[in-house]
Copies of this chain bind each other. A is one copy, B any other.
Amino acid sequence: MLSPQAVVDHMMQNDLFSQWLGISVLDIKEGYSNIQMTVRKEMINGFGIVHGGIAFSLADSAFAFACNNRNNLSVALDTAINFIKPVHVGDVLTAEAKELHNGKSTGLYHITITNQNNHVMAMFKGTCYRTGKALVEGGESK
């Protein structure tokens, strides 16, 4: 059986967009992830603040790392994000994913995005569908 950390290591190695975002993985547990990135200038939108797609992408990576780490390949079905405060270049964003439901066929996760001052910047929720296939071959799924 692969550990949750080993599954996420495998995912992160192939995840070129999370690499472009500059994501570092802080903590992985079964059904849980905590990740971080620093916002760069090329991530701003037409208002000079950070593009909503950046916070979403960070949260979506945290969601994927949490919902897949039992090595049961799971795909995002339905996700939503609420934007609470504007994010600026240089901000250090942390996304913590918590599992609200771990069903056989589906799962539900809440991801909270905070900045370096521990202010909540955005709240994400995601529903995934579990395929029942192994994500990393050779490591049976839980």
Contact = CB atoms under 8 A, between A and B. Distances in A.
Interface of A: 10-21, 41-48, 50-54, 56-58, 60-61, 64, 68, 73, 75-84, 86, 100-101, 103, 105-106, 108, 110, 120, 123, 125, 127, 129, 135
A81 B79 contact: yes
Contacts of A15: 44-46, 51
Contact of A53 (B17, B100, B101, B105): B17
A77 to B, nearest CB: 6
Determine the main DSSP class of A at the interface with B: mixed
A45 to B, nearest CB: 5
A82 B108 contact: yes
Contacts of A135: 47
B61 A53 contact: yes
A18 B78 contact: no
Contacts of A53: 17, 21, 53-54, 56-58, 60-61
